[in-house]
Structure 1
Amino acid sequence: MSTAATRTAGPDHLWTVDEHLEDILATVRPLDPIELQLLDAQGCVLVEDITVPVSLPPFDNSSMDGYAVRVTDVAGASEEYPAVLTVIGDVAAGQAESLHVGPGETARIMTGAPLPPGAEAVVPVEWTDGGLGEGPVTGMRARSQSPEGAGGHVHVYRSAEARAHVRAQGSDVKAGDRALEAGTVLGPPQIALLAAIGRGTVRVRPRPRVVVMSTGSELVQPDEQLGNGQIYDSNSFALTAAARDAGAIAYRVGAVADDAEILRSTIEDQLVRADLMVTTGGVSVGAYDVVKEALSSVGDEDEEGAGIDFRKLAMQPGKPQGFGSIGPDHIPLLALPGNPVSSYVSFELFVRPAIRTLMGLDDVHRPRTRATLTADKALTSPKGRRQFLRGTYADGAVTPVGGAGSHLVAALALADALIVIPENVESVEPGTEVDLVLLG
């Protein structure tokens, strides 16, 4: 993490959403590239173009089980007047030695096997009698009843054009072609291609390791019994899942009680496995806002440039936020508010772009669009705040889900978009076009 970013605004400064995001993205830097085995590189971003060392396929091969033939030998073949060819042997996939098909000859060939010299096409086994003299057969019967090796004859009942059922050398990619570009996220198809061209390792930016922890003595883990005044910890589960969805390797730490020393110790213990840390809760102005208490002076004890800046944003939900770095390696830390909707919206707006930046991606934001508002009444928004409301989006229209409350987890579970109401707008009538952030 760079320490060059300046956060010089005073404690009473009301940050805009854009200012806060710009500060984060100006500070967080992509992780250094490493060489990884293919399966370990899944979900990572390439840092180099991949050039094909050998054509794919590397040789002409059969796309069918059948017989490798010369075109002239099967010209005009029909069920009434079949071409009768001498079988000189079998060509199997992976076979090193190859037969030569001469006039009046054929070789039994398997899918993926190299086309033998002299042959110009492949006739599927279903177009033949399978060497049994019984008329056309199915592929299964031909494979189970046809003789092995050389000897015998086969009747071919259809003609074939040159290169029929032949996969040409380099028909997928040719040697020297660019297989994948730098910046590509490696999913299963990309890993398949890398393996197919012989790459066992690849140079990528690793998936960032994100540690998520929630704070609050009132939090109880799911499956435990609730006591008076207690609630289940949902934030750490939601944000860990969101971090994984963004492409990170995410670790969830159980809820930490409202004790500044315990919290600080827990955070320091987690630094060894973190490229980014996310806390939720304890960042507002309450008497038990332990994240602020634990981390406000961290820069005094760690290396120069470290420290967490707690600020207020002109947004709803999610006004209280914290951002900075911790520890000798200046691990970025984003401190999010504790209300479930506030923390999730804050994650989508600030943490997800930070994760995608660490990955080395160019496009770090959720897609955005515009849609027509469908609602029973006008939506209201506080003046000077950018409001993010939950909604469902379909066919160019968006419908609000739930209210503006930052505790409405059930409504959040139904939403697939955030409705964005700008700072200078206090009311939005049904039928108005609004901006959306699309979730998923």
Structure 2
Amino acid sequence: MKDCCSTPGLLPIEQALEILKNQIQPIAETTRVSLEQSLGRILAADIIAPFNIPPHNNSAMDGYALKLSDTETKNLLPLAGKAFAGHPFKGTLPEGHCIRIMTGACIPQGADTVIMQEHTEQKETGILFNRLPQKAGNNIRKAGEDISEGTRVFTKGHKIKAQDIGLLASLGIAHLCVYRAVRVALFSTGDELKAPGEILRPGDIYDSNRFAVKAMLQKLGVEIIDLGCIPDDPKKIRETFLSANEQADAVISSGGVSVGEADYTKDILNELGKTTFWKLAIKPGKPFAFGQLPDSYFFGLPGNPVSALVTFQQLAAPALRYMMNCHQHSPLEFSATCTSPLKKAPGRKEFQRGTLTIDHNGYVKVETTGGQGSGILRSMSMADCYIVLPKDQGGVEAGEPVNVQLFDELLL
């Protein structure tokens, strides 16, 4: 039995992604931000280490710094001073002596080894070393061991993470050149939609898509222009398109791209700009539209909530990352054993929702989250991965291997 949507003209998702990449122009404008404001921003220039990290040889332990050859004839050495982090021992280590040293302190000139304090005893005449290494260099972190001066630490297009900020701070970098934030206008359409907190009348539903997509846009790191919920009125939808186009680099709507009598979005897009593609060979999410307005790109998400989230994550998000100049990484996909049968008809690539487990033998297994209808939003909320079923595949029996794709940071 063929899928009812396996009709000519449905575009494979792989071709859709290629079209998006070829038609979208990345943002060129840059700005300068402080290190504290850089989380989630995209670097517009490489970061080169201005000096070594660590900047000097330092101790990896609390203990005693010495020259190992001084212990060849005796294992008790008199103490010549102390070295603390930020307060190095001044001068050169006297021959036949040791220095009390704390973690992070500079290695005194003349010392080549640090003995941890647990392997020593303090005597009246000095420090007794009960255990010595076979060769010099123990417990010393070398200058440049982490990063050498002149190393390219981050390349243009890198998205700054929390741990990156710590690394940049260690290099003394207080400001960064980044691309300006991509501006995204967001709205949903539908007379039946109400904001959470409002009273529902017969036939009304709450607008879940805009809130979920907005949350993913926040994680993506764009500037969001929330235009709210627009009724199914061609004039108001047209006014919203024009306003969004004036304010944003990209416009995202939810709903209005199917074939119903009140689905005006596609017609208005063609009036103001052009539709590049509409209807994809995927499930959920067939009625996904991409096009161009005079000064912005348009992404039309389906109205069904699961379809909206899947198409945003699989198509709109990669396109926006490209616009942001952000390095792209292929989704993490691997094989797992499916623990339950799955229904599927050939015709479209499917992104069913599942949860991963590892059994006591270490085998990776995946289980469906239940009903996979495009309106069952709970199937997304319960999931941590997609079960990716190729276009030509039919149903899956329990115990068969399937490909799974881990949810990325937008959905976790």
- Per the normalisation by structure 2, the TM-score is 0.79
Conserved? CA contact 1:52–1:179, under 8 Å: yes
**What pairs up with 1:32-111 in 2 under 5 angstroms?**
32=28, 34=30, 35-46=32-43, 48-71=45-68, 82-85=76-79, 87=80, 89-95=81-87, 98-111=90-103
Please state if 1:169 is matched with 2:143.
Answer: yes
Q: 1:167 to 1:368 in 2, by over 3 A?
A: closer
Equivalent residue for 1:338? Answer: 303
Aligned counterparts of 1:74 and 1:353: Cα–Cα separation in 2: 62
CA contact (8 A) 1:67 1:108 kept: yes
1:209-237 alpha-carbon deviations (Å, 9 max, x no partner)? 43332222322222333333221211112
State which of 262, 282, 285 in structure 2 corresponds to 1:318: 285
Q: Secondary structure at the match of 1:212?
A: strand
2:406 aligns to what?
438
* Shift, 1:350, TM fit: 1.4
1:147-166 alignment, distance < 5 Å: 154-158=126-130, 160=132, 162-166=136-140
| TM-superposition CA deviations, 1:402-437 (whole Å, max 9, x none) | 334221111222233334444445555555544444
Q: Distance in 2 between matches of 1:32 and 1:280?
A: 28
Query: Which segments of structure 1 move beyond 6 Å, counting only runs of 4 or more?
Result: none
The TM-score normalised by the length of structure 1 is 0.75
1:144 alignment partner in structure 2? none
CA 127–291 in structure 1, closer or farther in 2 if over 3 Å, else same? same
Give the secondary structure class of the aligned counterpart of 2:279: strand
Q: Within 5 Å, which residues of 2 pair with 1:422-437?
A: 422-425=390-393, 427-437=395-405
The structure-2 alpha-carbon separation of the partners of 1:253 and 1:98, relative to structure 1 and needing over 3 Å to count, comes to farther
Partner of 2:4: none
Which segment drifts farther, 196-205 or 52-61?
196-205
Residue 137 of structure 1 is matched in structure 2 by none
For the 8 Å contact 1:91–1:99, the answer to whether it is kept is: no
Q: How does 1:130-141 map to 2 (within 5 A)?
A: 133=124
CA distance in 2 between partners of 1:201 and 1:18 (Å) = 38
- Contact 1:30 1:358 (C-alpha < 8 Å) held by counterparts: yes
**Residue equivalent to 1:30:** 26
Q: Give the residue type in structure 2 aligned to 1:391.
A: G
**Per-residue CA distance 1:220-258 (angstroms, 9 max, x = gap):** 222333333221211112212233444545554432233
Is 2:357 the counterpart of 1:390? no
Query: Structure 1 residue 334: deviation in Å?
Result: 0.2
Flag the 1:214–1:167 CA change in 2: closer, same or farther, 3 A.
same
Identity, % of aligned pairs?
A: 34
Q: Which amino acid aligns with 1:392?
A: T
- Unpaired runs of at least 5, structure 2: 1-7, 358-362
Distance 1:120 1:427 in 2: 67
Distance 1:424 1:155 in 2: 75
User: Shift of residue 125 of structure 1?
Assistant: 4.9
Q: What is the rounded CA distance, in whole Å, between the counterparts of 1:244 and 1:369 in structure 2?
A: 28
Please state how far the C-alpha of 1:380 moved relative to its aligned partner.
3.7
